[in-house]
Amino acid sequence: MASLNAFVTGADVSSLPSLERSGVVFHDKEGKEADLIEILAENGVQCIRVRIWVDPYDQNGNGYGGGNCDLDNAIELGRRAREQNIGLLVDFHYSDFWADPSRQTLPKAWKGQTKEELTQTIYNYTYDSLKQLKYNGIIIDYVQIGNEINNGICGQSGLESSCELLESASKAVKEAVPEAKVVVHFTDPGSFDFGWAAKVLEKGCVDYDVFATSYYPYWHGSLEALKTNLKTITENYGKQVMIAETSYPYTDRDTDGHPESVTVKDTSVQRQMVMFLDLSKAMETFGESYEGIFYWEPAWICVPAEDQNSRKAVWERLGSGWATSYAAGYDGQAARYHGGSATDSQALFDEEGCAMESVSMFSLVHSWM
C-alpha cells in the first residue's frame, strides 16, 4: 500500500458496485467521467474499507440492500483497489446485515449453534473468506473483526461474552494473513468508556493491533473528549488508534427523496473539509500511534431515474439503497427505513456524481500536517 505519511487516509466505498449497477456515473474535479476509486486515489485516498455480510439475501435470493455487501462484492472492490495501488481494510460485520450497538444479529446459517460451535464457525468463516480474497490476488492491510462492537457481536449479551469469539476471529486473521493488522471497532467516543473496553479485551485475551472508533461530530461530542478517551488506549495498552468512520453533510437538502440520517444547520463543502482536517489534526497528537482515518461512504448518492417510483424500484431490485423490504424479515429496523441512501447529503460528490472540492481533503490532510 502506498503511503504519503505515517497515517493512512481512507474511504469506505462498500456500496459502489451496487451504485454502478444502478446507473450512477462519477466525474473527477475537471468534469471527466472516471472510475470512483481512481478519483479517490488521485486525491489522496490510500486505502478503501469494505464491509462484508455473511449472507445478505432472503431465501429467494432477494438482496437486503445497503450494497448487498457479500464476499463477492469485497473481492471485486479489493481487485480494483489493487489496480490503483491502494490498500484494503476488510470489515467483517459477522451478521447478514447492518451491525452496530443497537443490533448484532446472528447470521441465519449460524443460528442454533452452541458457543463452542460458534467459536469454530467464526474462525472458519474469517479464515476462509480471507483466503478467498488472497486467492484472487488481493492484498489485505487491515481486518476489522466486528463492527461497532460496544455491546458485543453475533447476538451475544455483551462485550465480555464476545471475547471468545473475537479471539477466534483474531486467530484466524493472524493465520490467514499474518501481515495484516487486526482492528477492533467501537463507537460513541463521547460517552462509551474505551478504557473499560480495552480492559475487557485484555482480560479476554483478544489479540489485536488497532483500536478504532467511529466519530460523527453531530453525535459523538467534542474532539477533546475523543482524544481523552483514546489516550487511555495508547498510554495504558500500547495500541494504535484509528477513526474507522466519519462524515459530515455538505447540504441540508435531501437529494434522493429518502430521509437523511441527520439534520445539521451548518452545512457546506467547506465545513466538510474543516471537519475532516480538524479531526485528523486532533488525531495527529497521538504521533506514531495514529493509524489512520476513513471517511464513510463518500459516494453513496442518488441513483438516476425518471421519477421517485422508478428510483424506489431500482433500490429494491439492485440493493443500492439503505435497505430493501426483503431485509425486514431478518432486521426489524429495515421495515421502517428501507429505501434510498440516508447519507447522500454527506457525500463528497454531488447528486450528479461530480467530485466536489472536499474530495481533495485526503491529500490536504497530509500536506497540512
Catalytic residue among 33, 42, 235, 245: 245
What pLDDT is attached to residue 1? 53
Q: Is 260 considered catalytic here? A: no
DSSP state letter for 325 = G
pLDDT by residue (tens digit) across 21-39? Answer: 999 999 999 999 999 999 9
Q: Where are the beta strands (DSSP E) in the chain?
A: 8-12, 47-52, 87-92, 142-145, 181-186, 210-214, 240-245, 290-296
Whether the pTM exceeds 0.75: the reply is yes
pLDDT band (50, 70, 90) for residue 3: very low
Strand partners, 182: 143
pLDDT by residue (tens digit) across 115-152? Answer: 999 999 999 999 999 999 999 999 999 999 999 999 99
CA 211/CA 218 separation, integer angstroms: 22
Count other C-beta atoms under 10 Å from residue 11's C-beta.
29
Catalytic residue among 148, 164, 167, 316: 148
CATH code of domain 8-367: 3.20.20.80
Residue 255 pLDDT more than 90?
no
Q: All 3 cell numbers of residue 138?
A: 488481493
Residue whose C-alpha is closest to residue 12's, from 179, 214, 166: 214
* Domain segments of the chain as ranges: 8-367
What pLDDT is attached to residue 120? 99
Count other C-beta atoms under 10 Å from residue 317's C-beta.
14
Widest distance between CA atoms in the chain? 56
Q: Is 33 considered catalytic here? A: no
pLDDT by residue (tens digit) across 308-357? Answer: 889 899 999 999 999 999 999 999 887 677 766 667 889 999 999 999 99
What pLDDT is attached to residue 267? 84
Higher pLDDT, 192 or 266: 192
Angle at 135 between CA 130 and CA 140, to 5 degrees: 45
Residue 4 pLDDT more than 60?
no
pLDDT by residue (tens digit) across 214-249? Answer: 999 999 789 999 999 999 999 999 999 999 999 999
pLDDT by residue (tens digit) across 33-84? Answer: 999 999 999 999 999 999 999 999 999 999 999 999 999 999 999 999 999 9
Name the 3-class secondary structure at 46.
coil
